[in-house]
Amino acid sequence: MSQYLLLRHRELPDLDKLSGYRAQGGFETFKKAVNDMSPAEVLTTVKESGLRGRGGAGFPTGLKWGFIPNNLWPHYVVANADESEPGTFKDREILENNSFQFLEGLMLASFAIQANVAYIYLRGEYWQLAKQLDRQIAELEEAGLLGKDLFGSDYSLNLYTHLGAGAYICGEETALLESIEGKLGQPRLRPPFPAVAGLYGKPTVINNVETLANVPLIIANGAAWYRSFGTEKSPGTKVFSLSGNVVNPGNYELPLGTTFRELIYTHGGGIPHGRKIKAIMAAGASSTIIPASEEALDTPMDYEEPQARFNAPLGSASVIVMDETVNMAWLVSKTVNFFKHESCGKCTPCREGTFWMNRISHRLVSGNGSSADIDLLDHVAHQIQGKCLCALGEFSTMAVISGVEHFRPDFETLVGN
Amino acid sequence: MNELQKRYPEDVAAILKKYPPEFRRSAIMPLLYLAQRQDGHVSGRSVTDIAELTGLSTTDVTSVVGFYTLFHAEAGGRYRIQVCTDLPCALRGADDFLALLQKELGISVGETTPDGMFTIEEVKCLAACHRAPMFQVQGDGDITYHEHQTVESAMQVLKGLRQQAQKSGKEAA
Ligand SMILES: Cc1cc2nc3c(=O)[nH]c(=O)nc-3n(C[C@H](O)[C@H](O)[C@H](O)COP(=O)(O)O)c2cc1C
Ligand code: SF4
Ligand code: FES
């Protein structure tokens, strides 16, 4: 068996060309689905595969598609290529090198919910990628794989790209929809959920790029095949973006359930300069900081274990590694600065809380803080929790609370007295 | 007369075609990028043009410009040098890289070189954390990534941009 389901381009370099992708059977699955399968069959196979959303929340994909009502039309699919969580660069590699597999997944998702239009929302910095996708979409139209009455059926599909413009919050699915609608990228109140009232008020499925890239293989090879990778509750492989103090940072596609140790040491080459590992963040800047104990290193990376053991959700699986020289108060000052910058300002606890956490942590790191500031920082973080409209507010508190809890001495050494 | 439409008739038509006709408002972001293509920021005139094309008020358009970091209401250098100093890059030396680059260019973050060529900006994660230090260049209607950088290699990139600007300046003349 090949090692890769998603990063197949590493073994098949021509995959980035339409001819190369088609030489591997590309778009045959989509053709077969439109010609010989019902939308419900596609949906059922995805449901049975146990595929879970790779954008962060791990929500079962088939279940999500199943929420789309059949008495409200039109339907939309939106691919989330906003990829802005610090430490995350997996969708980029898929889009750069294996975009046809992603596009076929998006097309299968569209067929499954009978959407005739789908949008790909890319972060503004993926400017070149949007141009590339526009060219590739035009190629697919020319090849008769997109457009009206596909393969003589009555199913039509068009894809469009839409560029964001530098706002992390637009990765949050309802802010993303607002952004496509030409409004400020601020999250919506829920309910109603996008499945009922999404883009332009119509039923909408939003999926991450990596999630969609799994779909062609699932439909081609079946749910049981897909379940042979990963764990019972977290099937499949995952692209882990590894960054920070490691010898070989980069993307690694591994079965869900692989341990942190295997990712960091076997694949990532361990910690440079003979230093010791100090801490791990599993979900980018939104992570709980996990002290790198032996138990932590042996924890399987899936949607259950890190959460259960360390209150550390896997999120987008952006694993940031810190060596023993990193001061965790400094680290927290980086993460809260990020969230202060990215808070959309819609709700007061998040807007004010990230402002204060940024100010206090900056004061600590610049040597002007007091030990009361450490408690204040922790207190502000707790004040934010549970009071925000979207998950960004919560995310902003994760590193703060776990940092103060597990690494208080790092904060105390910065306090002059 | 709508100058944006006059200058880029095909682009404007292609943008409007992407969205349902009753939701022209969706075209605002692509139109803002188009407006920035010429001189790197959104002029007051373009705001009026875009408001007209999308059926919005100029206030609506201005607030969208203000919300997103890649839209600029103010003129800056021809090229915006956007250095990522977010956590993963910082763990691999991005803060030092930025400090040295500022010294080399003789300007601080937010400032523009006297010849109007470069503005340095500090930005959040650009999904290139494994290739830090890195920066992107926004200018001439384009965004390009430069990864695995040192101050020396960065100065080479800037030199190339300066030449590119001179060349296109000559062509325009
Ligand atoms: C602040 C914030 C930022 C997010 N950023 C992204 C992102 O960049 N890409 C992404 O796919 N999902 C992101 N998400 C998750 C999306 O809201 C959504 O759950 C996801 O796109 C659904 O797709 P999936 O089910 O395939 O994972 C973000 C969520 C929040 C709260
Ligand atoms: S929690 Fe923060 S980012 Fe989310 S809606 Fe509220 S202010 Fe905006
Ligand atoms: S932190 Fe700089 S590119 Fe991700």
Mean pLDDT of A332-355: 97
Which amino acid is residue A64, in one-letter code? Answer: K
Give yes or no: residues A364 and A245 share one domain.
no
Question: How far does the CA of residue B85 sit from the closest CA of chain A (Å)?
Answer: 9
Which of A323, A346, A372 terminates a domain? The answer is A323
How far, in Å, CA of B142 to CA of B40, rounded? 10
Residue B30 has its nearest CB partner, among A123, A163, A183, at A163
Residues A211 and A97 in one domain: yes
- Asked whether residue A2 is assigned to any structural domain, the reply reads no
How far does CA A57 lie from the centroid of its chain?
8
Asked if residue A335 belongs to a domain, the reply is yes
Q: Are residues A56 and A198 in the same domain?
A: yes
Same domain, A333 and A318: no
Rounded mean pLDDT, A283-289: 97
Q: What is the CATH number of the domain that holds A159?
A: 3.40.50.11540
Best of A90, A240, A243 to substitute, by most chain B Cβ atoms within 10 angstroms, is A243
Residue A1 has pLDDT above 50, yes or no: no
Per-residue confidence (pLDDT) for residue B170, from 0 to 100: 61
φ, ψ at B82 (rounded to 5°):
-105, 105
Q: Buried b vs exposed e over A7-37: b needs ≥16 C-beta within 10 Å?
A: bbbbebeebbebeebeeeebbebbbebbeeb
What confidence tier does B171 reach under pLDDT thresholds 50, 70, 90?
Answer: low
Average per-residue pLDDT for chain A: 97
For residue A249, the model assigns a pLDDT of 98
- Report CA(A55)–ligand 1 centroid distance (Å): 4
A403 and A256 within one domain: no
Query: Are residue A315 and residue A386 in the same domain, yes or no?
Result: no
Q: Does ligand 2 lie within 6 Å of residue A223's CB atom? A: no
Q: What is the pLDDT of residue B1?
A: 73
Both A175 and A278 in a single domain?
A: no
Q: Does B135 touch chain A (CB under 8 A)?
A: no
Over residues A212-239, mean pLDDT: 98
Residues 6+ away with beta carbon under 8 Å from A17: none
**Is there a single domain that holds both residue A302 and residue A365?**
no
* Percent with pLDDT over 70 in chain B: 98
Is B16 at the interface with chain A, CB within 8 A? Answer: no
Chain A contact present for B73, CB below 8 A = no
Helices (H), ranges, A242-303: 260-261, 294-297
- Asked whether residue A137 is domain-assigned, the answer is yes
For chain A, the first-to-last Cα distance in angstroms comes to 61
The predicted-structure confidence for A161-189, as pLDDT tens digits, reads as follows 999 999 999 999 999 999 999 999 999 99
Please tell me the distance between residue A392's alpha carbon and the centre of ligand 2 in angstroms. 6
CA dist A300 and A308 (Å) reads 11
Nearest chain B alpha carbon to A272: B92
Q: How high is the pLDDT of residue A3?
A: 79
Residues A105-139 pLDDT 10s: 999 999 999 999 999 999 999 999 999 999 999 99
Question: Is residue A116 one of the residues assigned to a domain?
Answer: yes
> Residue A108 in contact with residue A30, Cβ under 8 Å?
yes
Same domain? For A117 and A132 the reply is yes
Query: Is A306 strand, coil or helix?
Result: helix
Q: Identify whether residues A195 and A332 lie together within a single domain.
A: no
- Check if A211 has its Cβ closer than 6 Å to any atom of ligand 1: yes
* Nearest Cα residue to B123 out of A338, A381, A415, A34: A338
A49 lines ligand 1 (CB under 6 A): no
Q: Hey, are the CB atoms on B29 and A200 less than 8 Å from each other? A: no
**Which range of residues forms the domain containing residue A269?**
237-323
Q: Specify if A231 maps to a domain.
A: no
Stretch 230-269 of chain A: residues touching chain B, C-beta under 8 Å: 241-245, 249-251
Does residue A148 surpass a pLDDT of 50? yes
On whether ipTM exceeds 0.85, the answer is: yes
- Computed over its alpha carbons, how large is the radius of gyration of chain A? 22
Residue-wise pLDDT for A224-237, tens only, equals 999 999 999 999 99
φ, ψ of residue A96 to 5 degrees: the values are -70, -35
In a domain, A3, yes or no: no
Cβ–Cβ gap B129/A89 under 8 Å? yes
pLDDT at residue number A120: 98
Structurally, chain A folds into a number of domains equal to: 3
What is the pTM for the complete model shown?
0.97
**A309 and A219 within one domain:** no
Report the pLDDT averaged over residues A42-55. Answer: 98
Taking CA–CA distances from A333, the nearest residue in chain B reads B87
Residue among A91, A322, A342 whose CB faces B124 most closely: A342
Q: Is the pLDDT of residue B173 over 80?
A: no
Asked if the bond preceding B9 is cis, omega within 30° of 0, the reply is no
pLDDT of residue A417: 53
Residues A249 and A221 in one domain: no
Judge whether A21 lies within some domain. Answer: yes
**Structural domain contains residue A1:** no
Q: Judge whether residue A416 has pLDDT over 80.
A: no
Q: Do B127 and A92 touch (CB under 8 A)?
A: yes
CA proximity to A170, closest of A159, A178, A160: A178
The closest CB to that of B130, out of A124, A182, A243, belongs to A243
pLDDT score of A2: 53
CA distance B127 to B144: 13
Show which of A289, A323, A357 is a domain's final residue: A323
> Residue A292 maps to which CATH number?
3.10.20.600
Q: Which domains does chain B have, with CATH numbers?
A: 3-67 (1.10.10.1590), 79-168 (3.40.30.10)
- Among A300, A323, A346, identify where a domain stops: A323
Confidence class for position B77, pLDDT limits 50, 70, 90:
very high
pLDDT in tens, B6-39: 999 999 999 999 999 999 999 999 999 999 998 8
B156: pLDDT strictly greater than 90:
yes
CA angle B11, B12, B18 (to 5 degrees): 90
The CATH number that applies at residue A341 is 1.20.1440.230
pLDDT in tens, B116-129: 999 999 999 999 99
Strand partners, A80: A121, A208
**Ligand 1 atom showing the smallest separation from residue A174 Cα:** 17
| A183 at interface of B, judged by CB pairs closer than 8 A | yes
Residue A411's contacts (CB-CB under 8 Å, 6 or more residues apart) are: A328, A329, A364, A374, A377, A403, A404
Average pLDDT, chain B: 95
